[in-house]
Every structure is written in C-alpha cells, then in structure tokens.
Amino acid sequence: MQDVKKPSDVNEIVDHLDHVDYPITGRDFVAACSNMEHVTTQEKDWVKKNLSMDRTYNSPDEIRKALRI
C-alpha cells in the first residue's frame, strides 16, 4: 500500500470517535468511517493504515492513542 500521510485536519475523525458504539474493532471503525461522506478519502486511508483491523478498541481514547491524535 502507498504510504499515507497523516491528514492535516483530523477533526472529522475525532468527531466520529464519539459516534460509534464501544467496544469496536478496527475493521468495524473503518467501515463506519467509510459510510461518512464528510470524511475524506485521505482520512479514511490513513485510519485504515494506522489501526489494527483485528484489535478491539474499548474507548475513543484507545483509538486516539493508536492514531497518535
């Protein structure tokens, strides 16, 4: 996969963290992001590259830590 830089604006992702039910797997979080029209393709690709698809995240803070945001 092509190297995906961290988007300059991750506000949409941060806002999205509070709109999903926890616990959630990385795969399910990416799928939820994919359904959000206002999240850019760059943001979606970056999240997909930086979250473990098989890991279960128990809170927004765990995803923030994984994404380093």
Both structure tokens of 6 = 């961290």
Sorting pLDDT into bands at 50, 70 and 90, what band is 1?
very low
pLDDT tens digit string along 10-69? 888 888 898 899 999 999 999 988 887 888 888 889 999 999 999 999 999 999 999 998
Spans of all domains in the chain: 11-67
Q: Among candidates 54, 57, 34, 55, which has minimal Cα distance to 44?
A: 34
Say which residue, 7 or 59, is predicted with more confidence.
Answer: 59
End-to-end CA distance of the chain: 22
User: Contact 5/45 with Cβ under 8 angstroms?
Assistant: no
User: Contact 63/51 with Cβ under 8 angstroms?
Assistant: yes
Residue 7 pLDDT exceeds 80:
no
d(CA 3, CA 61): 25
Both structure tokens of 44 = 């979606």
